[in-house]
Chain A
Amino acid sequence: MLRFIMQRVLLMPVLLVVFSVIVFALVQAPPGDFLTSYAATLASSGSSIGETELQALRQTYGLDKPIYVQYLYWMGNLLRGDLGLSLEYQRPNAELIGERLVLTLALAAFSFIFTWIIAIPAGILSARHQHGPIDYFFTFFNYIGVAIPNFMLALILMWLGFSVLGISVTGLFSPEFEQAPWNLARVADLMKHMWLPAIVIGISGTARLTRVMRANLLDELNKLYVVTARAKGMSEWKLVLKYPVRLAINPLISTIGWYLPQLFSGSLIVATVMNLPNIGPLLLRSLISQDMYLAGSLLLIYAFLTIIGTLLSDILLALADPRIRMRG
């Protein structure tokens, strides 16, 4: 088990280097560079920039160098812990990313907790009362949860919040806390705003997880070890929770690690609609404006989170399932 984790951890830098090459190639792939799109933006807004100025800027940012030089320059900075400068915002990338990353992770954690707290019990109840009213009740909501696009749900909830409760539920902070330094009051304000986007983002995942949990548990409930436990004289709920539920959850554990990267990319529309200051919109913006060091850093963080997520899944699964722990 320890050896397995060590192997995976040692493999991580190698994977990250491979990813960094791919990421850099991808970011460089569109024709032109940041300055081309910068000039285009200027042109569309009526002003313009001289060719000589552009050349000067190109030199300043090193955009005239061959790609591999640019890559090495970027990597060199990365190794020193410097994510570089955003060409567009003219601010350090670390600064731009920092808070958004924290908020993204917090949102991920919240929607994960919401999803599991609702989906696992709902799946259990559904399976235990298969074809009963409780099962139909959850099934109905599951279909709705899967069918409604989450940005639509966001719009509906925002509208409801505004017209019924008279509150604005966009963003993650009240206006007065938007730019405030971190303190307890700001955290409290964040919590007040967090639950709604967390639910919006988590709702379709909750519906799907409920269905999967229900199906897994229905499979397990027919297994012979359930009959054995029953024949021992265990009470029904106790035995269901100890044996089949435990086995039904096992395959789900391996999906836990996927929440991180999924939230990074999957919540873009919701984040835009709800004006959430998380990573998604920043990544989109940086890709459009070809702000390559920002986009590169974001994608690399994304890759890093994916690797960490997968490792986390594997470790959790090994902890939960002795068949994997002791054979792996």
Chain B
Amino acid sequence: MGNKTDKEGAMVTLEGGGEPLLSVRNLKVHFPMDEGRVRAVDGVSFDVQPGQVVGIVGESGCGKSVTMKAILRIVEPPGRIVEGQIMYHSRASGEAGTSKVRGTIDLVGLAPNGKEMRDIRGAEIALIPQEPMAAFSPVHTVGNQVIEAIRLHRDLSKSAARQLAVDTFRDVGISMPEQRIDSYSWQMSGGLRQRAMIAMALAANPRLLIADEPTTAIDVTTQAQILRLLRKLRFEYNSAIIFITHDLGVIAQMADYVVVMYLGKVMAQGPVDDLFHNPLHPYTQALLRSIPSVQSAPRVKLPTISGSIPHAFNRPKGCPFHPRCTSFMPGVCDRDEPELKAVDGRQLVSCFLFRDTPEVANGQA
């Protein structure tokens, strides 16, 4: 297993000091299509600390879901990780848990359907997909699918796994879990289905939960309940969460740390308070400007900023945001690509308006 921890240790870790649970470095996922190469993810880097909630925002099509699929190594063909590292720091030995992996592993180096990756998938890193209706098989009971998830990673008898599934159902606030576990997903309401989905993701007690827009398909009241549930479970299960959403209000409620993506790249990242109260990057500023106040309008969807998102095939040369940027500097922004740099010690920003801060080493190659 890869032991690149020492080298990676030089990376800027702005959150705490401990070793991150997950380090994504310069990740590139491309889709070679007949029409051309779609650079869905084009050099993304961020860290997730143990127990941290990292929110990922960005307009539709900026590569959020593809990044998550890459982490789970389930990018569908012809998509391929062409570059980068996904360092996963597994549970320290001795720590209670069911982990079969030890040490720091570069997930990019694993075979996507090999045993090692499958031991991580579901057990260490679990996914809560966007649409719980379509995410369960309609011809298998929900219990069948949850119990299966448990037994894939834990050496439990059927009845013990069933008991665990019932307990987890109760944890996520499903009433009458003994009965509900034998129903089909289409017999449940939207909120119930999403709870069942969360239960399935939590059942193997993962250390990292990836929630890809977990509340878009359900009504507002239920959304609020689900968010409350996720906040509560985060402490009970002590898992880190990557939370993807279009909704800046949800980010403000949920996240400790925010990553702002644009056209397959990270534009800015930093602790939620810094990013919201002192946005440095022109794109972050534009995002925040277009909603009056995060507090007063917590349900505002990611607003459309003036100008349209360029098509994935012909991304602009230089800074991808330059055709829409109000601070655009001709001859600079459209020539070279800015790199993600630490600015003012708290945020990382990818923009030519900011110079390297020499004190903080920049890990980006």
Residues of A near any B CB (own CB < 8 A): 223-225, 227-236, 242-243, 246-247, 250, 320-323, 326
> Closest chain A residue to B122 by CB distance?
A233
Range, interface on chain B = 20 to 34
User: Are B122 and A321 closer than 8 Å at their CB atoms?
Assistant: no
User: Are A225 and B186 closer than 8 Å at their CB atoms?
Assistant: no
When the two chains form the complex, which single residue of B135, B139, B153 contacts A322, counting CB atoms closer than 8 Å?
B139
When the two chains form the complex, which single residue of B72, B130, B139, B140 contacts A231, counting CB atoms closer than 8 Å?
B72
Q: Which residues of A contact B140 (CB under 8 A)?
A: 242-243
- B105-144 residues with Cβ-Cβ distance < 8 A to A are 113, 117-123, 126-127, 129-131, 134-140
When the two chains form the complex, which single residue of B74, B119, B120, B134 contacts A230, counting CB atoms closer than 8 Å?
B74
Complex CA–CA separation, A320 to B137 (angstroms): 13
Asked if B148 is at the interface (CB within 8 A of a chain A CB), the reply is yes
**Given A223-B134, A235-B113, CB of A247 within 8 Å of CB of B121:** no
> Closest chain A residue to B184 by CB distance?
A322
> Closest chain A residue to B73 by CB distance?
A230
Q: Which residues of B contact A228 (CB under 8 A)?
A: 127, 129, 135-136, 145, 197, 200
A-B contact count (CB 8 A): 78
Asked if B152 is at the interface (CB within 8 A of a chain A CB), the reply is yes
Q: Which residues of A contact B129 (CB under 8 A)?
A: 224, 227-228, 231
- Additional A-B contact list (20), CB under 8 Å, known A229-B137, A246-B139: A224-B135, A225-B136, A227-B135, A228-B135, A230-B72, A231-B122, A231-B127, A231-B129, A232-B121, A232-B148, A232-B149, A232-B152, A232-B200, A233-B123, A233-B153, A234-B152, A235-B113, A243-B140, A250-B139, A323-B184
> Smallest distance from the beta carbon of A249 to chain B beta carbons, Å?
10
User: Are B152 and A233 closer than 8 Å at their CB atoms?
Assistant: yes
> Smallest distance from the beta carbon of A292 to chain B beta carbons, Å?
48
Complex CA–CA separation, A277 to B84 (angstroms): 69
Residues of B near any A CB (own CB < 8 A): 69, 72, 74, 113, 117-123, 126-127, 129-131, 134-140, 145, 148-149, 152-153, 184, 186-187, 197, 200
When the two chains form the complex, which single residue of A234, A250, A322 contacts B148, counting CB atoms closer than 8 Å?
A234
When the two chains form the complex, which single residue of A231, A234, A322 contacts B126, counting CB atoms closer than 8 Å?
A231
> Smallest distance from the beta carbon of A244 to chain B beta carbons, Å?
9
User: Are A225 and B120 closer than 8 Å at their CB atoms?
Assistant: no
Complex CA–CA separation, A250 to B140 (angstroms): 13
When the two chains form the complex, which single residue of A231, A235, A247, A326 contacts B74, counting CB atoms closer than 8 Å?
A231
> Closest chain A residue to B210 by CB distance?
A231
List 16 contacting pairs A-B, 8 Å CB cutoff, sorted by A: A227-B69, A227-B74, A227-B129, A228-B135, A228-B197, A230-B72, A231-B121, A231-B126, A232-B121, A232-B126, A233-B120, A233-B123, A234-B118, A246-B137, A247-B139, A322-B139
**Given A231-B74, A232-B149, CB of A225 within 8 Å of CB of B119:** no
Q: Which residues of A contact B138 (CB under 8 A)?
A: 225, 247, 322-323
> Closest chain A residue to B138 by CB distance?
A323
Q: Which residues of A contact B121 (CB under 8 A)?
A: 230-233
Q: Which residues of A contact B117 (CB under 8 A)?
A: 233
